Structures are given as C-alpha cells and as structure tokens.
Amino acid sequence: MGEELLSSFPDSGNSDEMNFFVKGRFKAGTQNLFGILSIQFDQNGDILNNNIVITSFSDIYNISTDESWKKFEDTVTQYKWKGTYNTSLTNSLQAQLEKLKQDTSYNEQLFSFVSTADDSGVNVSIYDLLNRILHDKQLLLDTRIEKVSRDIIIETKMKKNTEEADNKAETARTASFAYGKDAQVISASPILSPVKGKPIYDLRIGDRIMIKPDAANQTAQHFIELYHLRLDNRVKPVPAEIVDIKADSKTSPIEIICRINQNYYAKCFEDERQVKLRIYDPRIDGIYNFDPLTQQQRRKENASSGGTDSLISPTAIALIGAAFFIVLVLVILIYLML
C-alpha cells in the first residue's frame, strides 16, 4: 500500500525521509470487545501520532491490516464521532500509547522491530501494551507495518483538510440561504424509530424525516393551528426535508434544520448519536400538503361557503315557513267570514 502511494507522486527534495506506521486490529474475546490502532514514527524513531479506539461493535474488526494508514485513522475518527465506542477503555488505551513517548527503553525496542520490518516483534510488543489495560486471556492481535514518504503523508493530510474546509464552507453557504426571506423557524423534535429508522449519523441533506412541532413554542403553536395538527390533545407529526446537520463538538447535541415548506423551517436537537430517526413514507404516513397558496385558497373557499350558508340558514327557513303559515291561516279566516 505504501509503495503504491509512493509511486503516485513525483519525487521531491524530502523523498528520502520516511515515516513508519504500525497498524493493528485486536479482539478481546472474553469481554467481546474489538478495536484498531495506528502508531506513526518518524525515521528517527520518535512517535509523531497515535490513534486507538475500542468498541463492542464487531464490524470494526473487519478492517484489514493491508488497508492504508489513512483508512485506519479515518475509521478511528468515524467511530469517535458517532459515539459508538467504549469511552473509558479507549481513553485508558490512548493514555497508554501516550506513555510510549516517555518510555525511552520500550520506545526504542518497538522502533527497532518496526524499522527492521520484524512483524513478530511488533506484535509481541503491542500485545503486551494492550493487555496491561485489557487483561484478557483471549486477546487476539494482528499488526502490519507500513512505510510511507513523509511528503505523501503531508500532501494527503493537506488534501483532507482542504476537503473538510470546502465541506464546511458549503454547509455554511447552504445554511446562510436556507431560510427564506419571510421564513418562520419553529422548534420541533425528531420522531425516533429504533427498528426501521435511519441512524442519525447516516442522515444526508435532502432526506425527509418525521418531526413533531413543539407545542410550547409560540411560532410552532401558530403553525399547529394553521394546519390543524392538534388531534385529541396531541400534535400530529409532519414530514420535513433536512437542509443542514451540524454539531459544535463531538459531545454537543446534533442540530438538524429542516424545511417544511417555503415559509416554515424546523430546528431539532438530538443528544444521542446512536438513535435512529423515522424517515417519511407517504404510503404509511399519508400525503401532506403544506403549500401556503393552497391553504389560503382553502380558507377563502371555506369563508365563501360559510357566507352562502348564512344566507339560507335553518333559522331563516323556519321564520319564512312560520310567516307563510300565518298568512295562509289569515286568508282562510277571511274567506270563512265572507
């Protein structure tokens, strides 16, 4: 993998400066825990970076040690962002890796195995490091060494940073014009669906989810009344299209901004990162029409039909009938008197 990376870039003045990556996947069979790690050394044996994560989700163990160092780093980041990892053990193992920087003897021994491509020696050293924390008799470990040009590492990370910056800029641009000029923003809560829902970390802009307007919010109250969403002291959920998803940090709530129609948007917050949200399905949830023009036309038609009905109301009909009866009686009396 490293040689493939080297061949894809032109030589540079620093092409002889190499970095070494120790990539590993492990399984603690007794505790049913799985994890991956990566340790980056420079050519002098100094540790530049290390990443590790441990989780109860076995799919992380499917990653092959033949994958690139970048794949390992991105996978660790992904699990931590999702929150699908064992926080306590991950932090303990991360701290254990950090101690390598101060443990000169251990560090030198490990790097001697790395620099000579001694996979067996690396495996034994990392195994001992992990089991200081895990204490698992059924611990399995698979490691691989990857040698990569420092220039390629820098270029790869710069490209990633540029892509992330572009994505953030696009998100900011989208958010800046997502709200219409006269748009109203209501508070709402996403509807959860633990079985058939879509994981919150897999949501994409354009997905339509079911949300419940917050009746305690004044703007939401107006929306509820306008579209007759209150049924038997409960508020009916409505579909909304996601236009933005963001979180200020890995531990802060996820903010989801949805568009209901051109006039109304909803802002939802979710603390949990492992929940599944209910996706709108017209076959199950029915068809919703939040077109403002349709609503205005409907109100006009109701007002018009109401006005017509008032001209021939039941009371008026009764009065007309009574008057006709009185006149008829008077005519009969007059006729009899004659």
Indicate the domain borders of the chain. Answer: 2-153, 182-291
pLDDT (tens digit per residue) in 133-152: 999 999 999 999 999 998 89
Cα separation, 206 vs 130, in Å, equals 43
Cα separation, 226 vs 295, in Å, equals 9
| pLDDT, greater one: 312 or 227 | 227
- Is 239 a residue whose pLDDT tops 80? yes
Cα separation, 199 vs 79, in Å, equals 13
- Is 281 a residue whose pLDDT tops 60? yes
Cα separation, 209 vs 200, in Å, equals 11
Cα–Cα distance list, 272 to 19, 105, 203, 208 (Å): 38, 43, 14, 19
Residues 6+ apart with CB under 8 A from 163: none
The pLDDT value recorded for residue 192 is 94
Q: Would you give the DSSP letter of residue 59?
A: G
What's the pTM? 0.51
Please choose, from the candidates 52, 50, 172, 145, the residue with its C-alpha nearest in 3D space to the C-alpha of residue 100. Answer: 50
The pLDDT value recorded for residue 14 is 46
- Is 181 a residue whose pLDDT tops 70? no
Cα separation, 334 vs 322, in Å, equals 19
Cα separation, 56 vs 179, in Å, equals 41
Neighbours of 331 (CB within 10 A): 10
Please choose, from the candidates 224, 226, 221, 262, the residue with its C-alpha nearest in 3D space to the C-alpha of residue 241. Answer: 262
